[in-house]
Amino acid sequence: MQTDFSITQLADSGNARAEAILRKCVHCGFCLATCPTYQLLGDELDSPRGRIYLIKDMLENELVPNKKTVQHIDRCLSCLSCMTTCPSSVHYMHLVDHARTYIEKTYTRSLPDRLLRYLLAFVLPRPKVFRFALYGAMLARPLKNFMPGRLKGLLGMAPKALPRKSHTDQPQVFPAQGPRRLRVALMTGCAQKVLDPKINEATIRLLTRHGVEVVVAKGGGCCGALTHHMGMEEKAHGSAAANIRAWRDLMRGEGLDYIVINTSGCGTMVKDYGHMFRDNQVLAKDAELISAMSLDISELMSKIEWQPKGKVPGIKVAYHSACSMQHGQKITTVPLDLLRVAGFETVPVPEGHLCCGSAGTYNLLQPELAEKLRDRKVDNIHLVSPQVIAAGNIGCMIQIASGTDIPVVHSVELLDWATGGPMPVILKDFGTGQS
């Protein structure tokens, strides 16, 4: 694709990166076949190729984006399926992220839209505030049918009950059982520790059982993805910088072998810290190192020797590969292989490359499209008649669970169970499990 950026425009590293990405696009249209919004809406402007044209025009001409342009870019899930499909290796993620930052700086949204976005940006990354907000939403949930638009969707997503706070939330060290083989930092996240703390607990049990010392760093928190994908660059960089400093302190102390992440959306973000901080003279090297050291929990488990106990029933598991896992991090077969070795019967999900509609805050900001994608995902899962659905991303788990009665668990909970940990509580009907 030909571009026409000025020398002055290209002095901005974001524009320079966007221009390099745009030049790789050859208009082939392969991305249309795997884009969820194009599959639903059939509008070229709701495809990666269409959005690329909109972004190019907006950036080159330094336009204040109009409502139509913003609408089509807002509808993008950032699922990155197009990046998996693209034969020209167009890095759409960096392009659309830059476009969203540009929109945030130049476009004035309606007051309700601004209020909702800033509410989400303030609440979700702060576990204490998020927990308090969820209690309020739970009380108001019976009134959801009387609420307008997005408020109805927000209340509908509120859980019926909140789990207790976990002992794993606070900064501390969990020693390895037996000789220490590795020392890792675990990212405990923000929303996940409120919605389902059992995931972090299972991760720590699984790792320490296999000789891995696990450290929860002081000062760590939200990865920054929630605000990053809303174009709120300063807020996102603030969250990311806090993590970089927290993990850097651990590396300078007793050292770290890896940074382990059990939410694939966060993993995609952290692995991109090097790009995010490329212009930051203070944190650039640390950010690049941290990106290189970061692993999804499934990647780490594939690196170490482990043995299942052979005491789990042969449960039929449909593994949902989150977009951030398969498209963002290019982790495809590893989680399935781990579950098979653990003794579970795994089945592929038809249209497994398509998004479930969660996509961070997407199901809150674009509830109608998100619901259609969820229903399509759930229908495909039901086709293979699983007993359990497993995933590696809390957002996907919440989204899919809202559309089915089949139990949804994190894959790490199944691996923990298979190697001597307790049976996931939600699977109580499958036997007694281990204690």
- The C-alpha angle with vertex 288 and arms to 82 and 391, in degrees rounded to 5, equals 45
Which residues face 189 on adjacent strands?
A: none
Note whether 274 and 320 are same-domain residues.
Answer: no
pLDDT of residue 433: 40
For residue 418, give the amino acid letter: A
Q: How many domains does the chain have?
A: 4
**pLDDT band at residue 347 under the 50/70/90 scheme:** very high
For 221-258, the pLDDT digits (tens) are: 999 999 999 999 999 999 999 999 999 999 998 899 99
What is the C-alpha separation between 172 and 408, in angstroms, rounded? 29
Residue 140: per-residue pLDDT? 79
Structure token pair of residue 135: 């209690």
The verdict on residue 41 lying in a domain is yes
Residue 243 or residue 133, greater confidence? 243
Q: Which residue has the tokens 């002095």?
A: 11
Rg (CA), the chain: 21
Under the banding of pLDDT at 50, 70 and 90, the label for residue 428 is: confident
**pLDDT confidence of residue 142:** 76
Q: What is the mean pLDDT of residues 312-319?
A: 90
* 432 pLDDT more than 50: no
291 and 179 inside one domain:
yes
State whether 140 and 180 are in the same domain: no
- pLDDT value, residue 305: 86
Q: Closest by alpha carbon to 337, among 356, 321, 357?
A: 321
CB 342 within 8 A of CB 312: yes
- Here the CATH number for the domain that contains residue 268 is 3.40.50
Residues 243 and 185 in one domain: yes
**Which helix (H) or strand (E) segment is 187 a member of?**
strand 182-187
Question: What's the pLDDT at 431?
Answer: 55
Q: 134 or 7: whose pLDDT is higher?
A: 7
pLDDT at 370: 94
Residue 435 falls inside a structural domain:
no
| pLDDT tens-digit map of 136-170 | 888 877 777 767 667 766 776 777 788 889 999 99
Q: For position 59, what pLDDT does the model report? A: 96
Give 122's pLDDT tier (boundaries 50, 70, 90). very high
- Average pLDDT, integer, range 118-144: 87
Asked whether residue 317 falls in the same domain as residue 280, the answer is no
Last residue of one domain, picked from the residues 302, 333, 353: 302
- What 3 state SS string does 48-69 have? HHHHHHHHHHHHHCCCCCCHHH
Q: What percent of the chain has pLDDT over 90?
A: 85
For residue 31, the domain's CATH number is 1.10.1060.10
With respect to residue 295, please indicate whether it lies within any of the assigned structural domains. yes
Percent of the chain topping pLDDT 70: 97
Task: Say whether both 230 and 257 belong to one domain.
Answer: yes
Q: Is residue 2 part of a domain?
A: no
Grade residue 387 by pLDDT with cuts at 50, 70 and 90: very high
Enclosing H/E stretch for 292: helix 284-293
Q: Taking 60 as the threshold, does the pLDDT of residue 176 lie above it?
A: yes
108 CA to centre of own chain: 27
How much is the pTM? Answer: 0.92
Per the domain annotation, does 271 fall within a domain? yes
